[in-house]
């Protein structure tokens, strides 16, 4: 399945995938390091949303948001936590 989302810095893809794997693993999901994006299927199954590999045009935007929201939201929370930690370290210099 091709990725349709574009990131601002393509070289950051590997690190973002690692962050996704780490964050979702910490939330109790089983994450394959080779395919961290596949965690969305586990999230969808948990929510009772029929997500399949390939075309999912019959999903509503609400259903898609319920799948992607927890993943992206938890990633953002972790990035904010890391930034706050880094700022606190810089203040102590």
Considering the domain boundaries, does residue 3 fall inside one?
Answer: no
Pick from 76, 79, 74: which is nearest to 28 by CA?
74
Percent of the chain predicted with pLDDT > 70: 92
Q: What is the mean pLDDT of the chain?
A: 90
Dihedral pair phi/psi, residue 47, rounded to 5°: -90, -5
Task: Write the pLDDT tens digit of every residue in 32-43.
Answer: 989 998 999 999
Give the range of the structural domain holding residue 71, as residue numbers without chain letter.
10-91
State the total domains in the chain: 1
Residue 60 lies in a domain: yes
Please report whether residue 75 resides in a domain: yes
């Amino acid at each position: 399945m091709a990725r349709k989302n574009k990131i601002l810095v393509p070289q950051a893809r590997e690190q973002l995938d690692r962050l996704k794997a780490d964050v979702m693993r910490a939330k109790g999901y089983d994450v394959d390091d080779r395919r961290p994006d596949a965690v969305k299927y586990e999230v969808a199954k948990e929510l009772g949303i029929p997500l399949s590999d390939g075309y999912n045009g019959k999903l509503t935007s609400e259903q898609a948001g319920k799948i992607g929201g927890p993943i992206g939201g938890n990633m953002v929370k972790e990035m904010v936590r890391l930034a706050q930690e880094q700022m606190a370290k810089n203040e102590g210099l």
